[in-house]
Chain A
Amino acid sequence: MKTKKFVSALLASAVALSLVAGCGGGDKKKPDEKKPAAAAGAVKVGVFLPLTGDNAAGGELELRGIKLANKLHPEINGKKIELVIADNKSDKAESANVVARLIEKDKVKVILGSYGSSLSMAAGNIVKDSKVPAIGTSCTNPQVTKGNEYYFRACFIDPFQGTVMANYAFKKGAKKVAIVQEVSNDYSVGLAKFFKEAFEKLAGPGSVVDIANYQTGDKDFTAQLTNLKAKNPDAIFAPGNFTESALLVKQARQLGIKVPFMGGDTWETQDFVNVGGKDVDGVAFSSAFDSTKAATPEAKAFLDAYAKEYKGEQPGGLTALAYDSYLIALNAMKAAGVEDSKNIRDAIASTKDLETTTGKTTLNADGDPIKSAVIKTVKDGKFTYIDMVNPGDLKVK
């Protein structure tokens, strides 16, 4: 009996606490509700990102970008923009819930997110049915936007990046390459697949000498790498999550594999360099973004603000893309007003030559951006520009 009472008391206090919290949240929102929503109320922009769970690292980096963009562009047509940030727990069911919540409960006009294509795909039907546009930050799987006129994105799609890196590898004289893919990660599998296709077209069949697999969360890659070493490739393409990739490159160097490593835009993260240390010096990866020289005035503003906010860290590609997704939404709302989500959708769809941190962004019919890729490397722990690839320049598409 005694413990029961104790528990009841505990539970009651927990409920009371959450009620207080709930009221607190309510108080904060009240000022907006008091004023007529149409006139002076803040414009709500929904953000859903994985802030806990397996993908928390990516979610956090992207949240930075969106918050920074909101700080620099807090207003639209005289109205304040309020971010409603929700965590999707790296879980698909949560992701769908949270987007429905943002639309129905918070009445957001446009949604930004998410890191991770599967999380975005889970939200796809909801934004389509509710006719609220969503802009993906770094969901690179083509399926996200395909056949969904309400989903757009700020990032490259997998086929483009894979092809870019294949062209780059061939241009640098690689005759035979090996691929290491994170078999449970759609991003990695997608990039690897299109890299292989493009490279075999360029260098002939059999030029991809080996494809090794690992699972997300693996820490030890020595077995796969020892196999690769015996095959003696000229270069290794290993797209994947930055934590796993950093360990992979590190272990490869420890095993004496000296050939260049190539990857995708997820590598452009301070954490990749932190974990990889000097071993990741010299890797090549594609990116949408160049932090060393600002492509546009907007990029300059972003770089300055980032340097001020997060001292000693280089802005990552993910952060820049999240920043861009906010800019695309902002730009569309400037043109279409903030009332009707459908008009905002149309305005997003017709985004053309918008100045973003990653150069000029134009969205195609699928809602995917057409922009040039930058090939970058790591030099003494800093991301450095090495080459530029325009979509038109590719030898094999």
Chain B
Amino acid sequence: MNHNKRNIMLTLAALVVLFGLACFVQAEVDSYIRRIVNLCLIYAIIGLSMNVTNGFAGQFSLGQAGFMAIGAYMVGIFTVPVELRADVFYAIPMNPHLVNVYMPLWMALILGGVLAAGIAGLIGTPVLRLRGDYLAIATLGFSEIIRIIITNATSITNGALGIKNIPPLNDVRYIFLATAISYVLITLLLNSSYGRAFKAIREDEIAAEAMGINLFYHKNLAFMVSAFFAGIGGGLYGALLGTVDPKNFLFTLTYNFLLIIVLGGMGSVTGSMFGAIIVTAGLEYLRVFDEPLELMGVAIPLFRPGLRMVVFSILLMICVLFWRHGIMGTNELTWEKIIHFVKHPLAGFRKKGVQGK
């Protein structure tokens, strides 16, 4: 009990400190780093959301891009200032029912999340009966269907021409808050009886059902929660970029987040956070591979644009093959571990070998 209280206090303190850090980053750091930090935070939300289904409930879903698209388009449709809409919908006028509807960003974000969750609920009913690969391919299919509908619904979404003039949001504090709230909500959910039910389903569906867990209800809940946060993340993504278009949400976008959770550890909330940071920052760091390289005056032809992605995919494969559980496996970075580590800095290393299953 005592420990619990301490942990909550510590978490709150950490959030405050991190928020202070976010304020510092916002005020002092150049816009490139800020953008990377923001992208890390947004990817962390989406990674987390994907981890809820894939990592915790054990349902391999590849529909994240579609849910992101819904969130992003809610932001795109409703937050563009009314007077600038004619510029955006220059080819096909916007639907008269929508053209004067304006929403502040937070409202559009929540609307996007709710709509994404609603659609997930509809999709979930048939799809979640499937398992493994079938589920993966069916959710992927739905995400593509959502994208194709968005492409064709020109009077609402402007189709392929995309939406510009979304008020830009490159504010670390705002995005940090969104991430922190998502993190806290998801952690609370996962630590509740629902979370335990998810994990039971992941470990053994039949046993879980025998224990009286309503499989369908819990799977659907996980799927909807996941979609909700993917929608929020997608909305922030749209707001960060200031523009959305359907091609952005091809199913290959989902792979980015799959990567994040694989790297961070399927079934670890803190792992998703680390995964998001490593993938986003790492991809930027690897940019050196794209630049021409001269060693002692000789240009090495190997270094040309494209190499970065090759190196990145090789690192990914190494990680998948030899480091299957990612950074955290299904473990969490808890205050106990941190305190233990601070007290006995070396003990952690000796114990590390017995991580995961």
Contacts and interface: CB of A to CB of B under 8 A. Distances in A.
Consider the complex of A and B and state whether they touch directly, i.e. have CB atoms less than 8 Å apart: yes
Interface of A: 1, 3-4, 6-7, 10-11, 14, 18, 21-22, 24-25, 27-28, 51-52, 54, 56, 63, 85-87, 89, 91-94, 96-97, 100-101, 103-105, 117-118, 121-122, 124-126, 129-130, 141-143, 146-147, 182-186, 188-190, 193-194, 213, 215-216
Contacts of B125: none
A7 B243 contact: no
A185 B162 CA distance: 10
Q: Is the interface of B mostly helix, strand, loop or mixed?
A: helix
Q: How large is the interface on B (under 10, 10 to 19, 20 to 34, 35 or more residues)?
A: 35 or more
Interface stretch (B58-66, B112-120, B172-180, B286-294): B286-294
Contacts of B318: 7, 10-11, 14
A304 B245 CA distance: 39
Nearest to A85: B305
Contacts of A86: 287, 290
B91 A101 contact: no
Given A51-B306, A100-B32, A118 B248 contact: yes
Contacts of B248: 91-92, 118
A130 B31 contact: yes
Contacts of B289: 18, 21
Contacts of A213: 152
11 contacts: A6-B322, A7-B323, A52-B308, A97-B284, A104-B30, A104-B32, A121-B162, A146-B90, A147-B84, A147-B87, A215-B151
A52 B164 contact: no
Contacts, number: 161
A104 B33 contact: yes
Q: Is the interface of A mostly helix, strand, loop or mixed?
A: helix
B305 A52 contact: yes
B306 A87 contact: yes
B305 A101 contact: no
B168 A125 contact: yes
Given A96-B241, A126-B35, A143-B90, 18 more contacts: A11-B318, A18-B285, A18-B286, A21-B303, A24-B295, A27-B294, A28-B293, A52-B305, A52-B306, A54-B247, A87-B290, A92-B241, A92-B248, A103-B31, A105-B30, A141-B161, A142-B90, A182-B160
A130 B168 CA distance: 13
Contact of B284 (A101, A117, A126): A101
B309 A89 contact: yes
Nearest to B352: A4
Contacts of A141: 161-162
B306 A193 contact: no
B247 A183 contact: no
B87 A97 contact: no
Nearest to A192: B91
B241 A93 contact: yes
Nearest to B147: A184
A199 to B, nearest CB: 15
B25 interface: no
A122 B31 contact: no
Nearest to B91: A193
Contacts of A85: 290-291, 305
B160 A189 contact: yes
Contacts of A105: 30, 32
Nearest to A120: B243
Contact of B309 (A52, A104, A122): A52
Residue from A6, A86, A186 whose CB has the most chain B CB atoms within 10 Å: A186
A183 B159 contact: yes
Contacts of B242: 121-122, 124-125
Given A92-B241, A104-B33, A118-B248, A21 B288 contact: yes
Contacts of A190: 91, 161
B96 to A, nearest CB: 19
Contacts of A18: 285-286, 288-289, 311
B32 A103 contact: yes
Contacts of A103: 31-32
B293 A24 contact: yes
Nearest to B248: A92
B92 A93 contact: no
Contacts of B91: 189-190, 193-194
Contact of A185 (B160, B164, B322): B160
Nearest to A126: B31
Given A97-B32, A121-B162, A129-B31, A4 B293 contact: no
A395 B353 CA distance: 77
Interface string B156-171: 0001111011001010
Contacts of B165: 143, 147
A336 to B, nearest CB: 23
Interface in B299-315: 303, 305-306, 308-309, 311, 315
A143 B87 contact: yes
Contacts of B56: none
Given A96-B240, A124-B164, A184-B247, A143 B88 contact: yes
A227 B273 CA distance: 51
Residue from B32, B33, B151, B353 whose CB has the most chain A CB atoms within 10 Å: B32
